[in-house]
Every structure is written in C-alpha cells, then in structure tokens.
C-alpha cells in the first residue's frame, strides 16, 4: 500500500493506483475529459491536472501513479484557473451549429464548460471549420467541429469493439480523428456499434437517428431481446416514444458496450407494421373451410383466446390426420430461456415430435 496526502487528507491506496483514482476513493472529483474508466489512460486533455508538492509543473492525475509520501492539491486557485483556460482553448476551436441551451442532453464537455463559468454560445468559435454530418454512416453522426481530440473514439473502437476504425490524423491545430485511411466509416470496417458515440464526451459523434429528438422524459432500463447475451441499456422515452438508446456502465453483462442491433435497432417497437394483436385468416374464423375467394384469406385481427383456439384446433387436426411429425415448431431468440424450454416440452411431449428449431441457427 502507498501512503499519500490529497488536499491534506491521509490516503492509503494500492501501488499502481493513479492519483485520479486515489482522489475518487477519498470522495474528491477531479474534472476529466479524455479519461474513461473502460479505456486505457491517454493523458491528452490536461483537465485532470493537479499540483504535486516538489514538482515544477501541474501533472495529469489520470496517468500519474501514486508515490509514497506524495502531497497532492487538486483544486488550488492556479489549477482551477488552468482548467478554465484549457476549456477556453477547446471552445476557441469548437462550434455547435445546432446549439440550443437546455434543449438537449448536455454533454460531459458542455457540463464542464458551464461549471467553469463559460457561456457555451458566447465562447464557441463563430463558424464551423469542418463539414457537419461528414460521414455517410446511417447511424453515426459525425461533426468534428465539436471534437476536442480526446481520442476516446479511437480507444473505444479499438479496445471495446476491436475494430480499429478511428485514428488521429494531422498535427497541432489540425489534429482530428479519421476513419481508416481518411475514408468513410463503413469503408474502414465500421460495424456501426455506436461505441465511439457512447464514449465521445462532446457530441462530435452522435446518434443520427436521434438528432433533434431533444431530451427524454424518462429512462427505462431494459434487457435487449435480440439475442441471448442479455445486454442491458436505457430506452430514452419522450412523449411515450423511444427517442434513443443509451448504454450504461451499470449493465452487468455488457457495460457501455452494445452491438448495432441493441443500440440502433429499436424502431420496430413502434413500427406501424408491428403486430400488437393476433391475426387469423378469415376462413379459419368462419369454420375452417378453405375458399377460393381471396377475402377468405385476409388476416383478421382477433382476441388471443380466439387465435389460440384456432391454432390448437388446427394443430390437433393436423396431428390426427397426418401424424405428429408433419408438424414443426420454430422458436425465437427473442424468447426467454424459460419460454424456449416450454416450447421444447410442447413440441416433444404435447405434440410428440422432435421437429423443433430456433431462429438463432438461421
Ligand atoms: S460505430 Fe463501432 S465499429 Fe464503427 S467506428 Fe464506432 S466504435 Fe468503431
Ligand atoms: S470525436 Fe469525440 S471521442 Fe473522438 S476525439 Fe473527438 S471529442 Fe474525442
Ligand atoms: S483526463 Fe487526464 S489528461 Fe485528460
């Protein structure tokens, strides 16, 4: 264990802990931007600088390991002034063409900007330097006018998704992320998982489907129905409609990670084509005699009891006339394990066939 002082308070943490994490353990919040607990430290934005007794210059606490006897000051007037200056410098190169104070979720960056007393509208660059919506990806909105070169997108794509789509190009004032060899994201092997969006602290990368949707009224934590992994995320709901999905580090299985279906495949929930009540062919409701009239084959909305009765009778008559092996059962990856187990019992023990399969094998 290493002993040090943070803001005069004695702290003991395991060797290898960063000053930032040691401060967190004592309840001190040091502002950060390029740092994220899921990603390797980068030490690029300098928001997390602290004074360390005996060191000539402020040090980045997110990359600095603790040392025995260290004395750290996290919020001295000089340090706070330097954080404000860093934010002013970022804002001089930042432009949000759609900035509407309070109309949308505030990013981590804008929260710090306001925290340090800056007016985002007044302090941002007057004109954009880059094309807004500069990538054809159908899910990821790219507006590098809001980029602060924190490289969280680069690290998220490499370390969380394993695709290595983003890297940083050019130097100095012109430094910016590029996909592949400065091409479109999809050409650079992007899988549209949205991890880079989830980790971007400024909204330079955003969810295209949710642009202009505003703030949610509530978040609803749920479990994805697409496959059996059991990823959790929050539906952002506004006026009873899902406006976006946000991942959460509290999700026990997946943390902030999601695949393209979980993050962006939610429009089926409120799609007008989605069946919300059972439908039965008209002729089955009218006695079951097949007819050549096309109207007899129309789908008719009905109640669950009626639909289940029709299905049960049809399964029964097929089994009696042709045998159980003329029936096959297909279940779904969207069902719970328990529901799939019951379908297995239903096929083998109630109907009497081994013809059962699952859509995840398709
Ligand atoms: S959407 Fe996913 S795969 Fe595509 S660049 Fe972002 S993190 Fe990488
Ligand atoms: S796009 Fe976002 S995550 Fe990537 S470097 Fe810029 S600010 Fe950071
Ligand atoms: S958060 Fe430490 S340098 Fe960016």
Pocket of ligand 3 (CB under 6 A): 32-35, 43-48, 60, 62
Domain end (from 274, 292, 315): 274
Confidence category of residue 287, pLDDT binned at 50, 70, 90: confident
Ligand of minimum distance to the alpha carbon of 61: 3
CA 329 to ligand 1 centroid distance, Å:
37
Both structure tokens of 202: 């400024």
What range does the domain containing 48 cover? Answer: 2-75
- Same domain (yes/no): 269, 236: yes
The pLDDT, as a whole number, for residue 101 is 64
- Same domain (yes/no): 10, 63: yes
Task: Please state the rounded mean pLDDT for residues 175-192.
Answer: 96
Atom 4 in ligand 1: residue holding the nearest Cα = 190
The pLDDT, as a whole number, for residue 362 is 47
Pocket of ligand 1 (CB under 6 A): 140, 156-157, 161, 163, 165-166, 185, 190-196
Q: In this prediction, what percent of the chain has a pLDDT beyond 90?
A: 85
- Same domain (yes/no): 6, 59: yes
The pLDDT, as a whole number, for residue 102 is 65
The pLDDT, as a whole number, for residue 358 is 85
Q: In this prediction, what percent of the chain has a pLDDT beyond 70?
A: 99
Q: Is residue 140 part of a domain?
A: no
Domain end (from 16, 45, 75): 75
Whether the CB-CB separation of 337 and 228 falls below 8 Å is answered with: yes
Whether the CB-CB separation of 234 and 220 falls below 8 Å is answered with: yes
Q: How many domains does the chain have?
A: 3
CA 244 to ligand 1 centroid distance, Å:
17
Q: Are strands 49-52 and 59-60 parallel, antiparallel or unpaired?
A: antiparallel
- Same domain (yes/no): 267, 284: no
CA 14 to ligand 1 centroid distance, Å:
34
What is the average pLDDT score of the chain? 93
Q: What is the pLDDT of residues 293-346, one digit of tens each?
A: 888 899 999 999 999 999 999 999 999 999 999 999 999 877 888 999 999 999
> Nearest 10 degrees: CA dihedral of 122, 123, 127, 129?
-160
Residue 105 has pLDDT above 90, yes or no: no
> Nearest 10 degrees: CA dihedral of 243, 194, 37, 88?
-80
The pLDDT, as a whole number, for residue 30 is 97
Q: Is residue 221 part of a domain?
A: yes
| Cα diameter, the chain | 93
- Same domain (yes/no): 294, 355: yes
User: Which of 224, 281, 274 is CA-nearest to residue 253?
Assistant: 224
Task: Please state the rounded mean pLDDT for residues 219-243.
Answer: 92
The pLDDT, as a whole number, for residue 286 is 86
- Same domain (yes/no): 355, 288: yes
Whether the CB-CB separation of 121 and 99 falls below 8 Å is answered with: yes
Q: Is residue 255 part of a domain?
A: yes
Give the integer Cα–Cα distance in Å for 343 and 355.
11
Q: Are strands 166-169 and 176-179 parallel, antiparallel or unpaired?
A: antiparallel
């Amino acid at each position: 264990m290493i002993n040090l002082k943070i803001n005069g308070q004695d702290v003991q943490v395991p060797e290898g802990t960063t000053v930032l994490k040691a401060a967190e353990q004592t309840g001190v919040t040091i502002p950060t931007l390029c740092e994220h607990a899921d990603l390797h430290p980068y030490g690029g934005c300098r928001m997390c600088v602290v004074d360390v007794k005996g060191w000539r210059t402020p040090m980045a606490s997110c990359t600095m390991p603790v040392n025995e006897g260290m004395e750290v000051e996290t919020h001295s007037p000089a340090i706070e002034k330097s954080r404000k200056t860093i934010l002013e410098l970022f804002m001089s190169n930042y432009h949000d063409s759609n900035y509407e104070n309070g109309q949308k979720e505030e990013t981590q960056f804008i929260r710090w900007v306001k925290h340090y007393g800056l007016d985002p509208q007044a302090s941002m660059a007057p004109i954009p330097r880059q094309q807004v919506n500069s990538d054809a990806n159908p899910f990821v909105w790219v507006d590098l006018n809001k980029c602060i070169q924190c490289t969280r997108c680069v690290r998220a794509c490499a370390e969380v998704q394993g695709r290595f789509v983003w890297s940083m190009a050019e130097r100095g004032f012109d430094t910016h992320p590029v996909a592949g060899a400065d091409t479109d994201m999809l050409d650079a092997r992007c899988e549209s998982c949205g991890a880079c969006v989830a980790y971007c602290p400024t909204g330079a990368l955003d969810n295209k489907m949710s642009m202009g949707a505003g703030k949610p009224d509530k978040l609803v934590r749920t479990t994805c129905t697409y496959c059996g992994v059991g990823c959790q995320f929050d539906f952002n709901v506004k006026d009873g409609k899902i406006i976006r999905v946000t991942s959460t580090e509290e999700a026990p299985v997946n943390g902030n990670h999601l695949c393209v279906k979980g993050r962006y495949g939610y429009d089926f929930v409120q799609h007008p084509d989605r069946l919300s009540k059972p439908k039965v062919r008209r002729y089955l409701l009218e006695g079951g005699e097949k007819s050549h009239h096309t109207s007899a084959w129309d789908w008719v909305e009905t109640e669950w009891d009626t639909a289940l009765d029709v299905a049960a009778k049809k399964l029964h008559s097929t089994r009696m006339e042709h045998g159980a092996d003329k029936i096959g059962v297909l279940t779904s990856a969207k069902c719970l394990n328990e529901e799939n187990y019951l379908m297995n019992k239903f096929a083998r023990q109630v109907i009497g066939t081994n013809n059962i399969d699952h859509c995840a094998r398709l």
